[in-house]
Chains A and B, each alone.
Chain A
Amino acid sequence: MNLVIGSFGIVLALAGALTGAVTIIVGIRSPRDRLQIIGARYAWVAFAGMCLSAFAMQRALITRDFSVQFVAEHGSSLTPPLYNVATMWSALEGSILLWGLILAGYLAVVAKKFSKRLSDPMVSWALVSMFLVMAFFALIMLGPANPFESFNPPVGYDGPGPNPLLQNHILVAFHPPMLYLGYIGFTVPFSFAVAALITGRLGEGWLLITRRWTLFSWGFLTAGIILGAWWAYDVLGWGGYWGWDPVENASLLPWLTGTAYLHSVLVQERRGLLRVWNLSLVCATFLLTILGTFITRSGIIASVHAFSEGGIGPWLLWFFSIVLFAVICLIFWRGEELRSQGGIDSPLSREGAFLANNLAFGGFAFVVLLGTVFPLIVEALQNRQISVGAPYFEKMSMPIGFSLLFLMAVAPILPWRKANTELVRDRIEWPAWGAVLSLVLVVLLGGRGLLPLLGFTFAGFAGTSAMRHLTLSARRNGWKGLVGRSNGGMVVHLGVVFLAIGLIGSSSYISQGSYSLQPGESIQFSESTITYVSSERLSFPNKIQERVQIDIDGSLLEPSIERFTASGQLVPSPSTRTSPVKDIQIALLDPPAGENKSIVIQVTKQPLLLWIWVGGFVMLMGTVLSAIPMQKRKAGRNKQRVRLSGKKDQEK
């Protein structure tokens, strides 16, 4: 039954998407407004179809319907309920189903939000683009990634359950969906960019109407990535939160271009510049999500996260190629029309800083992409296997990170068009003091090493600059001074500064060791005393847990190792003691072989690690603040935007 409903849902989604696209295109070409409006309604058909399929999958999972092959391969009667629901996105086919559901959701919301403007070709073409993307994903689900294949379970069959690493932490229920809300959300500004290219309306229009969507998607993408890091930290056992693994890099790439885009649009809105940059960045973001999915799921690059090798690779690659060339052709076709009127007057200006920002983020994306695919290039050209791992990415991202912090400090200070040195000197005084004081403080507290110290200096520089902006704004406008795009943005920057502090502290001053302990034995580790107190063994329906009690300076930590019965896989569960100053994480490497036997633990100390999560949280708060309008729009206000160039400005 679930099989039928599920498959029907996908077919419905495909039909809805294709019919919608065709209807709208006919409507635009003929032209018949009516058709464009009707075509948009098919978004609801697609959404209904995906809801049906998702519902069918969840029902199959919850009732342990093993006649559905996906459930037979990934479900189990032993899996706890919450993890059972999350099992849907614990493997390829279900993940694509989730993707389809979220995409259809965005389609429906776009159709609703723009319902008064459906006869506008810009909106229509955007919908066509989204319909086509939807159709592609529906096709995949009918082809190589079918979640509703049937299975003939033998009597008494019970599935193996999802991968144990996906069953022991609650973030499995949040990280993938939030990441998807982020990725898939960028389909909206991308589609409008395509529509802008097709209709030739290359001004600020498409940027303005997609502003909220971009912010929303970016927020979720950021949250998703940070939650992923938190999850890794909580589960892995050696204090790591980011491994520069190909799949992690795949999720970072769209974030990098997306962040650049988020900033770069400000320049186009204000001065109509950087148009090609903005189109390219948003298209790149979308393309990178497809490329990222390809890298994750095709198996061509080995990764600890790669959890499937279906036949989906070629499909994704074809889709990537088609979209890439469509975008290139569109940009080529529009050619000179894309060129902005006017240009950047002086590098020492807000526009100049944003351009530098684009270069920095673009460079960062290039580094990450190059490092990830370089082994493939070497293999193709020289038939050798090499690896490009964390050491490369860490070394390369450091100068870029410093540059970004510097830009964060300097850009809010620079005025538009051209800065005069008086002005800059005046505005930069506080942040400069902030930078120096941060450095002195860190040195006094014991921080050493040229690179970390530089990092802290830049972080102080950027943080003080953001605080300066916020303070000035709050002084003028009270509480309202903290909301709105520019102020919210400064709060996000503050979050980035905290994040940077956490990154620098935890990576530069990490210390780690593994120790064998007899019951009752203590060791000294970096100013702390660690004692092995006791151990116990607990049984659960799907796993056996060996847990030890470790005393560290008076508080008790309980790291454990779990062996999952269905697969025999061992999964460690480290335990962490956190404080704003440092995190100490203890992982159980070797459980006791019997009564009163020794254990082996790994201890990791990382200073300032908590600030990574604080920073992430502040970034999200800033995003929310950005979305709150500073003041209600008053009708008829058009006095502000007089451009010295005398061009006609837009009316709100």
Chain B
Amino acid sequence: MKARAIAALVAVAVFFGAVGAQRQIHQAQEADRGEDILFLPNQKLLNHFTGGLNNIVADLLWLRCIQYIGTESKGDRNFTWLNEMVNAVVQLDPHFGDAYRYGGMFLAALKSDDDSGIKLLERGVVANPRNFQLPYELAMIFLLNRKDEPGSKERATYYLSMAASIDTCPEFVRDLATTLQGQYNLDEVEIGMWNRMADSEDKLLRELAQRKLVEVDIRNTTETLNKAMLTFNGRVGHFPNNLEELAASGITPVPVNDALGGYFVLGDDGVIRNTTLLDGEKKNLLKSLQKLVERYKEDKGEWPPSLQALVDGGITDQLPEHPYHDETWHYDRATGLVS
């Protein structure tokens, strides 16, 4: 009968509509997580088979964990299984902030197992990019537990900076971060982190780490090039007019392109910059600008008339500069889009 055939066709069409919606859901999930932090897919296997009850099982496991800590505290104080238990809890409920915090704390303090505590907290940071407490705890471990180790202050600074960059972080963390940033060089810490991640089993993380290492490399090259400019000036008496001149002087090799397809440019102000890094910076700044614009809309109920209005309206203290000095931010008042 015709009506039946039509109904069946409609059902099929609706099904494909559902498939489309599912794909949109994936997109929304990715957006929620933020771009630079990636989930670790294959570790989610355990979650799949608890029928949607992961969080309850995580809770029960956590309670068991606390009991374990209590019993061990009164007994041999070995805490042999603490690491496995806490990791199982966060595997089931990756957003369980307290488990990371207390778990990391207990592992470092009670079991004297800093490494496991640190690993746990790092895992927490990856899964909860908006929770400032976790990088903060990490910084504390480095500052306090490991303060005599070389490089620990740098790492603490790194984590504090991470904590400070999160919106909900309290003032004192920001202040502490600024103070430490002034004192310690972060590059080595960062390279160490990315090197560790490059060994990860996960393909996506490896790729991310490799890219980040190249970016660090480009930054270093840019700095070296700028230092070479000064050396050139010192020797010759004026700054080179272009990159070829600098290359010809032999002070340092001047690559044309970088490994990621960008290139080096000598700006009007005599500073050498790299387009890959500039593009990256531009993207990040665009995102934050966009967020500011949206916050303006939430507060005042309409798109801001201009980007300057963001400062006037008290949304932010200062507009960021465009990384490309000869370009400015474009803002479309009708759609509220920054480009």
Whether chain B is bound by chain A comes out as no
B-side residues, CB < 8 A to A, are none
A-side residues, CB < 8 A to B, are none
